[in-house]
Amino acid sequence: MQHADTACQIKTTCPYCGVGCGVIASVEGERVTHVEGDGEHPANFGRLCVKGSALHETLGERGRLTTPLVDGRPTDWDTALDTLTARLQVIRQQHGNASVAAYLSGQLLTEDYYVANKLFKGFLGTPHLDTNSRLCMASAVAAYKRSLGADAVPCNYEDLEEAELVVLVGSNLAWNHPVLYQRLKVAKTRNPLMRIVVIDPRVTDSCEIADLYLGLKPGSDALLFNGLLAWMAATHRVDTLYVEAHTEGFVEALDMAKATAGDIATVAQACDLDPERLETFYYWFASQLHVVTLYSQGINQSTSGTDKCNAIINCHLAGGKIGLPGAGPFSITGQPNAMGGREVGGLANQLAAHMDYHLPGALDRVSRFWSTQTLAAVLPEAPGYKAIELFDAIERGEIKALWVMATNPAVSLPDAARVRRALNACPLVIVSECVSDTDMLAYADIVLPATGWSEKEGTVTNSERRISRQRGLLPPPGEARHDWWIICEAAKRLGFGEAFGYAHPWEIFDEHARLSGFENEGEGKRLFDISALVGLGHEGYERLSPIQWPVTANAPHGTARLFEEGVFPTPSGRAHLLPVTPRPPEQKVSDAYPLRLNTGRIRDQWHTMTRTGRAPRLMNHRPEPYIDVHPEDAATYGISDQQLAVLAAPHGRYRGRVRVANAQRRGEVFIPMHWSDVHSREARSGALIEGLTDPVSGQPESKQGAVSLAPLSVAWEATLLCADDVTLNETALALDYWTRIPMQGCQRWQLADARPVHDWLAQTSAWQLAPATLWCEDAGEGRFRAAGIVDGRLRWWLMIAPPRELPGLAWLEARFNAPTLDDASRRRLLAGCEDGAADTGPVVCSCHQVGQAAIVRAIRAGDTSVEALGARLACGTQCGSCLPELKTLIEEERRHAHAEQASSPEMA
Amino acid sequence: MSSASPFAIDHLVIVGNGMASHRLIQALAEAPTRPAHITVIGAEAQPAYNRILLSPLLAGEIDPVGLALQNEAWYADHGITLYLDEQVQRLDRKQRHVITTKRTLTYDRLVLATGSRPALPPVPGSTLSGIEGFRTLEDVSRLAAIDPAKGPCIVIGGGLLGLEAAEGLRKRGVEVSVLQRGAHLLNRQLDATAAELLADELNSRGLKLRMNARVSRFESDNEEGRVAAVVLEDGQRLPCQRVIVAMGITPNAELGQAAGLATERAIVVDDTLTTSDPRIHALGECCQFDTHTYGLVEPIWRQVEVLADHLAGRGEARYHEAPTATRLKVSGITLYAFGPTEASEEHEILRYVDGGTGDYRRLLLRNGRIEGAVLYGDTRMGPWYFKLALEHSDISDCRRGLLFGEADASALGDASVGSSALSASNSSTSNSSASTSSSPTPSTSIVEAA
C-alpha cells in the first residue's frame, strides 16, 4: 500500500461472487477513483470482471441509508438501539427466547456474522438464526458433510487449471464467476488436451469453451451421475483400490445407481439426451483421473439438491478423483462470504466454528468458550429453523421478532407473497441495510443504517477456502455504522456487554480463530481450524494476506488442497458414498402451468441490484426484466421477440420482455433473479417459485418452477427518461408494465399499458412532468415523442413506441448532463441522436460501451475474430466477459452470410 | 409546328420584359436555332430586374444594383432589340403587327409576357391616391420615401408579399398594420399552427396583425384625394397615411383579349403555351393553362423551357401542371410548404412542434405517401420531403424517422428512399412572378422527376 496525504491505493476484496477477487482501490480524499484487479491475489491475479471493475461507480451517498429509523421516523442511535432492545426483551419475556430470530447474509463479513451468531445462539438463546446462504449453498454443504464429513471444498482454483477434464454442471461460469471462467479459458488454450463438458438445460455463454454440451432435462442431474457411476462400474473404471482404502457405502450407492440408471439408453431417455453424447461424457469422465466437476446453483437449488451433489461426489470417490491436483467435486459459491458465514455457524443447523448440534460435546464446548466470568452463554439444545421454515414460523406467529441483516428476503425467497404476508404480520422487524430503497424496508419497524463494502473492515472466505481482508476505503456516510458495532451495541444494552466488548474487528477475528482451535485435536478433530491466525494483533490483521484454511501449526501458510492422504473427518476416517434415488422436481408442470421455469443471474448484475443497479453501464447489458423463450414456444403462445409477456405460477406473476432464444429447450423458459419492486412491477422471480425445499438442506427449488406464459396485451409502450431529481407520480406506477433503469444523471423508465392514451401531452401533465417544450407525433402509427426543457436544461424525454425503436441512449444521457442545450442538440433532441449518427445498438461490451450494431458492422467489414474486433473497437479487451457474445455475433454473421449465399446462387 | 431548321422564325417579338420574358430571352439568345430577330418591348424604364429582391431592397437590406439581371448592352451584344419605357397599344393579328406608342413592328411570332398587376379591393375609394401596390422598383422608391412621422401605414393582404412589404416598412421605422381577410396568415401555404407561429414572431417584432379583417371602404379627409383611413366591414376606422395593397394579382390579359385571343381569367394557352392564334404565345402571369393562372415562379420557369423549345428547339416539349413547393423567406423567417395546407379525412398527419424555437413541421400522408408538407423555422428537410412526394415514394419503411431527417429515415428503412442528393426545387418565390436567375434550374429536375 502506498499511502499519501490525499491519494492512496488500498487492497481489498470484491463483494460480489464467490470467486473472491482481490481488488486494488485508488482512493483520493473521500472518493474511490478507480479499481483494478490485485495482481498478487491468488484468486484473480489481476483480473476483474465487469461488475468488479465498476465497483467505484456504485459508491456515493446517493440512495444510502444514513439515519436510524424507528416506526418510520428518523432518530439517533441511542434511541434506535434502546427501542430495539426494549422491544426484543418484551417479546422474549412474553414468548420465550425462541420467539426471536435473525436472518443474515453471505454479504456480511465473517466478523459481523460471528458476533450475530454469538449474540443470538449464545446469549439470546434462540437457535433461529439462518442466512441467505440457505438459498445458495445449503445443498452443497449438506452433501459435503454427508460424504466428506465436513463442509469443506476439497479443491482450489488451480485444480481447475490443472485438470484434464472440467465438467461444468448447473453452472454458467462465464456469467456468474467470470474471472474463474477466464482462468479456465486461458488454461484450456495452454493445454489443448484439456476437455470441458457443459451440462445445463440452457446453452449458456459457458458453452463457448465446451468440447461437449449436454442439454439435459431440468432436474435430471442425479440420474445422469447415477448413470455415470453405474457405467464406471460396468466398464471397470472404478478405482477399486481407492474405494476399498478410503470410502464406505460404495456397494449400496452402486446398487442404487444400477437400479435407477443402469444403462445408457435409460439415462439418455430420462435426461432427454443423445445416447452417444452421453456415453462420450461417461467415457471422458471415467477414463481421466484429473477431473474437476464444478457445480453451482443449477444443482443446489433443488428439492433433491443434496442428493444431486452426493451423486456427483460418489463418482469422484469411486474414481479416486479427489485429493489430487486437478481433481475433485468443486462446489462454487454464489456469494462473497457464504463460506465465511458458515465458518462461524451462520446456518440454523450449525453452532459455531463448524460444530453442529449433533456433534458430541459441541454445545458444552461452545458454551464454555463464550461464557465470561459473570455471563454464562446459554445455547439452545436443538437446531433452529432454516430460511423457509423460519418464515413459516413467523407466519404461524411462533416467531415474533426478526432481525434481517444485509439481505432482501422480500425479494429473494420463493413464494415471496407469503414471505411478505409473514413480514407484515411479524410484530417486530429490524432491518440493517445500506440502501434507502429496498423492498424490505416497507416491512421494517426499526431500520438501522449499515456500512457498505467500501467502508467495512473484516474478512471474507471465497470458494477455495481462502480468507481475504476487506478493507475500509471511505468513511461511512451520515450515521451509518458497521454491522458488528450495531450488534455489539445491542448486546451491551441487553446486558451481554462483557461478551461483546470488541473495539475492532481484529479482536473478533482473533476470538473466531481461537474458537476454531478450541479443544480441536485428536479424535473427531474438526477440519475448520485457523488457530495459527490467533494472536495476529491489530497490525497483523491489517497485513493479513489471502490464506486458505486450515491454517494450523502444521500448516502455517494454509492448505491448498484437502484429503490428499485419503483421510476424511468422519468417525471412520472414510468418505461416504451415498445411495441416491433420483427425484424429479416437486414443482410439476401441468396443463395450467405447462412450462418449466429456470431462474438465474445475469452477467452484469448482482442480487437485487441495490449496488450494481447504481452503475449505469451495468444496466445496459440487460436493461429490463426478461423471459427467454424457445422460438417454437413463442410461436405457440403468439409472442414475438421483444414483446411484453406475463408468466404466472400458482402464487405469483412475473412481467418481462420476451427474448426469443434458441438457447432454451422447448417447453422451458428462463428469467433473471435480480429485479425487485424497486426496479420493476411484478418482476421478482421469487414470486413464481413455490416454497418447496430439499428435506436435508432446506434449500428451495428455485431452478425448477412451473409457469404459464401469455402475452401482455398493451395499447402502447413508452420510454421515459427523467433527470435524476424528477419523480414520477403514482399514476405511472399503476401502469400494466413499468421498469426503471438507472442511467448517469437520469433514470430510464420503460412503460406500457393496455388502456389507450389519446392525448399524450395531457398524459405527460398527468404524470406531473414539466410542460412539454417540444413534441412530435404520428397518430396513425401511435408514435409520439416529447421533451421537457426547463431553464435550458433537459428534464425529461418521452418516446411512445416499442423500445426497439430507441436510439442509442448515450447521446440523450449526455444531454441530461449538459448544463444547457445548444440549438443543434435541441433540434436533434426528439430524434435522440446526432444527425445521421449510426445507432450502435444494445451494448455488448460494458467496459468500453461498444454496441452490437457497431460490432456487426465491424464483422461485416472483415473483423472476423475477437482479436480483430478488440483491435478496432476495444470491445472484449478489458474484462473479457463479452467475449462469448462477440464470438456468437461473429458466428451468426458467418451463418447469415452463408445462408444468403445459399439463397442466391446466381451471386455465388 | 415547323421543323427545327436554323432561323425557323425570322422575327420574334416579346411584349413585356419581366422575369419570365428575361429568362426566355436568355434561353433563346444562345440557342443555335434561335429566331433571326428578337425584339423585346418593356413598359418599365429599365431592363428586367429580380423582382423577388424588392422586399429586401425595401427593408434596406440590399443595394438596388443587386437586383440587376442583364444590362442593355447584353441585349445589344446578343442581337436583341430592346425597347424600354414603351407601351404596346394593340395587336393587329391579320397584319401580324404590334402597335406601340412609338412604332409598329411586324412579327412572325409573338410572345405575350405582360405579367400582372395588384388586385384592388372592389370597394369605394380604391382609386384614391396613396393606395399602392408593391411590384416594381418604382413602387419601392415610393414606399421608401414614406415618412414614419406622418402616421401609420396599412398593408392589405397577409400573404407573402403583404408581409414582406409590411416588414420592409416596419424596418424603416413605420408603424404598420396588416389586414388579412382570412383567419390566418399565408393561408395558401401554411396550416393554422405554422401561421400562428409566424404571427407570434411578427407580433413580437412589432407588426400589428388583424385577422378576419375585411375592408369596406377607403376614406379621404383632404382635398388632394389622398387616402386617410381604411374602414372595415365591422365599422372600425383605421387612420393611415398610406395603403399598400397585396391581396392578389390580376393578369394583364387585356392586350390579348382586345386582339380577340381566347381569354378567360387570363389568356388561354395550350400545352405548348400557344394561344388561340398559332403565331401568338402567352407566358407567365398573363396566361391561363386549363384552370390555372400563375403567381409562383417555379411553374413559370417550366413554361419558359417549353416555350423556348418551341421557338428554338425540337418543339417536342409539353407543359403540364406539377406540384409546386414554395420556399418562402419573410425577413429571416423560413418556410417551406407544398401540397394541401389543410388535412382531409384520408390524411394521416405527422407533426413536429418546438414551442421554444418555433420549429414546426407537418406532413400530410395519404396511403403511405407524402402529399403535403408545411415546415416553419427549420426547413432543411423540405426539399427531401418534396422529392419523396414527387416520386410518390412509399415511406412506410422510414416513416418513424421521417420527422427527424433523411439520415434517420434511411437508417431505418430502404436505403433507396431519399438516398440520392437533393434535386427537388428550391425555388424562391414571391406571390408575383419572380425569381433569382442565379439559382440553379430546379424546375428541370422537377420535370424529370415528375
pLDDT value for A845: 74
Inter-chain contact A830–B401, Cβ cutoff 8 Å?
A: no
Inter-chain contact B357–A836, Cβ cutoff 8 Å?
A: no
Contacts of residue B411 in chain A, CB cutoff 8 Å?
A: 836, 838-839
SS3 A422: helix
For chain A, what is the mean pLDDT?
93
- Cβ contacts of A69 within 8 Å, gap of 6 or more: A75, A80, A444, A446, A447
CATH of the domain spanning B11-117+250-312: 3.50.50.60
Inter-chain contact B353–A776, Cβ cutoff 8 Å?
A: yes
**Which contacts qualify for A31-40: CB closer than 8 Å, 24 or more apart?**
A31/A59, A31/A474, A32/A56, A32/A59, A32/A454, A32/A473, A32/A474, A33/A7, A37/A179, A38/A11
How far is the C-alpha of B404 from the C-alpha of A690, rounded, in Å?
50
Measured in angstroms, the CA of B351 and the nearest CA of chain A are apart by: 5
- Residue B352 at interface with chain A, using a CB cutoff of 8 Å: yes
- Residue B320 at interface with chain A, using a CB cutoff of 8 Å: no
Report the range of poorest mean pLDDT among A501-510, B56-65, B289-298: B56-65
Q: From the candidates A719, A759, A778, A789, which should be mutated to test the interface with B, based on the most B CB atoms within 10 A?
A: A778
Q: Are strands A716-723 and A652-660 parallel, antiparallel or unpaired?
A: unpaired
Contacts of residue A783 in chain B, CB cutoff 8 Å?
A: 400
Inter-chain contact B408–A805, Cβ cutoff 8 Å?
A: no
pLDDT at residue B450 is higher than 50? no
Q: What is the mean pLDDT of residues B52-63?
A: 83
pLDDT at residue B418 is higher than 90? no
Inter-chain contact B352–A827, Cβ cutoff 8 Å?
A: no
Q: pLDDT tens digits, residue range B361-397?
A: 999 999 999 999 999 988 888 888 998 998 999 988 8
For chain B, what is the mean pLDDT?
85
Tally of residues, chain B: 450
Residue of A nearest to B398 (CA): A805
Longest dimension (CA), chain B: 71
Q: Which residue has the cell 458492422?
A: A857
Helix A483-491 vs helix A77-95: angle between axes, to the nearest 10 degrees?
A: 60
pLDDT value for B425: 32
Contacts of residue B378 in chain A, CB cutoff 8 Å?
A: 827
Q: What is the mean pLDDT of residues B271-278?
A: 96
Closest CA to A50 of A873, A841, A866, A622: A622
Inter-chain contact A836–B404, Cβ cutoff 8 Å?
A: no
Inter-chain contact B400–A783, Cβ cutoff 8 Å?
A: yes
Q: Indicate the helix (H) or strand (E) that contains A489.
A: helix A483-491
- Residue A839 φ/ψ, nearest 5 degrees: -75, 130
DSSP H helical ranges for A536-673 = 537-543, 616-619, 631-636
pLDDT value for A875: 85
- Residue B403 at interface with chain A, using a CB cutoff of 8 Å: yes
pLDDT value for A839: 56
How far is the C-alpha of A250 from the C-alpha of A244, rounded, in Å?
9
pLDDT value for B437: 30
Inter-chain contact A826–B408, Cβ cutoff 8 Å?
A: no
Q: From the candidates B345, B354, B378, B412, which should be mutated to test the interface with A, based on the most A CB atoms within 10 A?
A: B354
Q: Which residue has the cell 405527422?
A: B350
Q: For residue B74, how many other CB atoms are within 10 A of its CB?
A: 15
C-alpha grid cell for residue B348?
394521416
Measured in angstroms, the CA of B354 and the nearest CA of chain A are apart by: 4
Q: pLDDT tens digits, residue range B77-134?
A: 999 999 999 999 999 999 999 999 999 999 999 999 999 999 988 999 988 999 999 9
CB-CB: which of A774, A779, A836 is closest to B407?
A836
- Cβ contacts of A528 within 8 Å, gap of 6 or more: A150, A151, A152, A343, A353, A354, A516, A549, A550
Q: From the candidates B352, B363, B381, which should be mutated to test the interface with A, based on the most A CB atoms within 10 A?
A: B352
How far is the C-alpha of B394 from the C-alpha of B401, rounded, in Å?
14
pLDDT value for B438: 30
Q: What share of chain B is helix, strand, coil (3-state, %, to 5)?
A: 25, 25, 45
Inter-chain contact B403–A839, Cβ cutoff 8 Å?
A: no
Residue of A nearest to B366 (CA): A780
Inter-chain contact A805–B359, Cβ cutoff 8 Å?
A: no
DSSP H helical ranges for A750-882 = 760-766, 810-816, 823-828, 852-860, 866-873
SS3 B139: helix
Q: Which domains does chain A carry? A: 7-58 (3.30.200.210), 69-135+337-501 (3.40.50.740), 138-331 (3.40.228.10), 595-711 (2.40.40.20), 716-828 (no CATH), 843-907 (1.10.10.1100)
Burial A570-591 (b: 16+ CB within 10 A, else e): beeebbbbbbbebbbbbbebee
How far is the C-alpha of A111 from the C-alpha of A95, rounded, in Å?
29
Q: Is residue B67 within 8 Å of B27, Cβ to Cβ?
A: no
How far is the C-alpha of A485 from the C-alpha of A502, rounded, in Å?
8
Q: Is residue B363 within 8 Å of B403, Cβ to Cβ?
A: yes
pLDDT value for A121: 96
Residue of B nearest to A822 (CA): B357
The CATH 3.50.50.60 portion of chain B extends over 11-117+250-312, 131-247
Q: Are strands B208-210 and B215-220 parallel, antiparallel or unpaired?
A: unpaired
Inter-chain contact B356–A777, Cβ cutoff 8 Å?
A: no
Q: From the candidates A717, A781, A823, A827, which should be mutated to test the interface with B, based on the most B CB atoms within 10 A?
A: A827
- What's the pTM value of the predicted model, to 2 decimals? 0.81
Residue of B nearest to A832 (CA): B404
DSSP H helical ranges for B33-79 = 54-58, 72-77
- Residue B258 φ/ψ, nearest 5 degrees: -65, -30
How far is the C-alpha of B14 from the C-alpha of B88, rounded, in Å?
11
Q: From the candidates A761, A774, A791, A823, which should be mutated to test the interface with B, based on the most B CB atoms within 10 A?
A: A774
pLDDT value for A681: 94
Inter-chain contact B357–A826, Cβ cutoff 8 Å?
A: yes
Note the Cα A466 to chain centre separation in Å: 19
Contacts of residue A833 in chain B, CB cutoff 8 Å?
A: 408
Q: Is residue A217 within 8 Å of A272, Cβ to Cβ?
A: yes
Q: Is residue A440 within 8 Å of A409, Cβ to Cβ?
A: yes
CB-CB: which of A774, A778, A823 is closest to B355?
A774
Contacts of residue B349 in chain A, CB cutoff 8 Å?
A: 778-780
Q: Are strands B104-106 and B97-100 parallel, antiparallel or unpaired?
A: antiparallel
Closest CA to A378 of A366, A392, A361: A366
Inter-chain contact B352–A775, Cβ cutoff 8 Å?
A: yes
C-alpha grid cell for residue B445?
429536375
- Tell me the HSE value of A509 on the side-chain side, using a 13 A CA sphere: 28
Task: Tell me which residues of chain A have a pLDDT lower than 70.
Answer: 1-5, 836-843, 846-849, 878-881, 899-908
- Residue B355 at interface with chain A, using a CB cutoff of 8 Å: yes
pLDDT value for B430: 33
Question: What is the DSSP code string of A695-729?
Answer: TTT--B-TT-EEEEEEE---SEEEEEEEETT----
**Which contacts qualify for A217-220: CB closer than 8 Å, 24 or more apart?**
A217/A270, A217/A271, A217/A272, A217/A273, A217/A665, A218/A585, A218/A596, A218/A598, A218/A665, A218/A668, A218/A703, A218/A704, A219/A302, A219/A304, A219/A584, A219/A585, A219/A703, A219/A704, A220/A270, A220/A271, A220/A272, A220/A582, A220/A584
Measured in angstroms, the CA of B379 and the nearest CA of chain A are apart by: 11
Domain B131-247 has CATH 3.60.15.10: no
How far is the C-alpha of A665 from the C-alpha of A596, rounded, in Å?
10
Helix B160-171 vs helix B192-205: angle between axes, to the nearest 10 degrees?
A: 10
How far is the C-alpha of A480 from the C-alpha of A448, rounded, in Å?
8
In total, the C-beta contacts within 8 angstroms joining chain A to chain B are: 67
CB-CB: which of B353, B378, B399 is closest to A775?
B353
pLDDT value for B398: 85
Contacts of residue A831 in chain B, CB cutoff 8 Å?
A: 401, 404-405, 408
Residue of A nearest to B407 (CA): A836
How far is the C-alpha of A125 from the C-alpha of A904, rounded, in Å?
78
Q: From the candidates B363, B380, B404, which should be mutated to test the interface with A, based on the most A CB atoms within 10 A?
A: B404
Inter-chain contact B378–A830, Cβ cutoff 8 Å?
A: no
End-to-end CA distance of chain A: 63
The CATH 3.30.390.30 portion of chain B extends over 325-424
Inter-chain contact A823–B357, Cβ cutoff 8 Å?
A: yes
CB-CB: which of A773, A776, A826 is closest to B403?
A776
pLDDT value for B7: 52
How far is the C-alpha of A388 from the C-alpha of B323, rounded, in Å?
75
pLDDT value for A903: 54
Quickly name the fold that domain B325-424 has. Answer: Enolase-like; domain 1 (3.30.390)
Q: From the candidates A776, A789, A821, A823, which should be mutated to test the interface with B, based on the most B CB atoms within 10 A?
A: A776
pLDDT value for A836: 59
Q: Is residue A669 within 8 Å of A640, Cβ to Cβ?
A: no
Q: Is residue A844 within 8 Å of A875, Cβ to Cβ?
A: yes
Note the Cα B260 to chain centre separation in Å: 27
End-to-end CA distance of chain B: 25
Contacts of residue B344 in chain A, CB cutoff 8 Å?
A: none
C-alpha grid cell for residue B335?
418556410
pLDDT value for A873: 87
Contacts of residue A780 in chain B, CB cutoff 8 Å?
A: 348-349, 365
CB-CB: which of B348, B355, B408 is closest to A831?
B408
How far is the C-alpha of A587 from the C-alpha of A593, rounded, in Å?
10
Q: Is residue A524 within 8 Å of A559, Cβ to Cβ?
A: no
Contacts of residue B350 in chain A, CB cutoff 8 Å?
A: 776-778
